[in-house]
Amino acid sequence: MSAAALVPVALVGALVGLVVPSLARRFTTPPELTRAGLEPRPGGWAWLSPVVAAVVFAGLAVARGDDPALPVFLAVAAVGLVLAGIDLACLRLPDPLVLAAGLLALGGLTGTALLAGTPGRLLGALAGAAVAGAAHLLLALLPGSRLGFGDVKLAAVLGLPLGWLGRDALLAGLLLPHLLHGGVVLGLLAARRVRRDTLLPLGPALLAGAWLAVLLG
């Protein structure tokens, strides 16, 4: 993708990043969270959101500039940024937003496959969702697992665009999130910022790993 085309995509990403904090706050202050003791932590990351979103959008544009499904990837990324903010704030991945991301991915990829005459890529996307969802469901069912079913559903959604790209991207998208999450956990433990029993969000790692898998693919 040329620089002239890349700049507008990055600017759109920055604009998306401006509204991400306010959208995330809508899902982090419901009464049931307060009753459960899951008070959202202060959103000091808000100023960084436009920068992160611009980088995410620009990276996708560079990696997938020739793919007719690029708008679908950008739409899923936009919802994913909101989900990451919510999960960081209160360890929660709201079903309506995960469903919205899934519908955007499925509907967009279906339309792209039909218009491009490549139904095989749609089958790959569906297979990716099934594999990613099943793998994380098994992880969630393991004794002592801290993987939530919100993470399982998000992994299945992210399997759609990863499966669209093929086996290598899907495998990278399955492995990278857990490598990233493990590295962060080890770093926080070494810095004594958390304890071994501290619950940490996996959603941001799932999203970041999927993004890196797209870039590498």
pLDDT in tens, 185-210: 999 999 988 888 888 999 999 999 99
Neighbours of 157 (CB within 10 A): 29
> What's residue 27's pLDDT?
85
pLDDT in tens, 135-184: 999 999 999 888 999 999 999 999 999 999 999 999 999 999 999 999 99
Q: What is the DSSP letter of 46?
A: G
Closest-CA residue to 53 (of 31, 82, 24):
82
Provide the token pair at 15.
Answer: 């604009």
Distance of alpha carbon 39 from alpha carbon 31, whole angstroms: 10
Assign 45 a pLDDT band (cuts: 50, 70, 90). Answer: low
Distance of alpha carbon 161 from alpha carbon 170, whole angstroms: 9
Distance of alpha carbon 59 from alpha carbon 74, whole angstroms: 10
Domain-by-domain residue ranges, the chain?
3-216
Distance of alpha carbon 96 from alpha carbon 114, whole angstroms: 27
> What's residue 196's pLDDT?
85
Average pLDDT, the chain: 90
> What's residue 64's pLDDT?
93
Neighbours of 115 (CB within 10 A): 9
Global confidence as pTM:
0.91
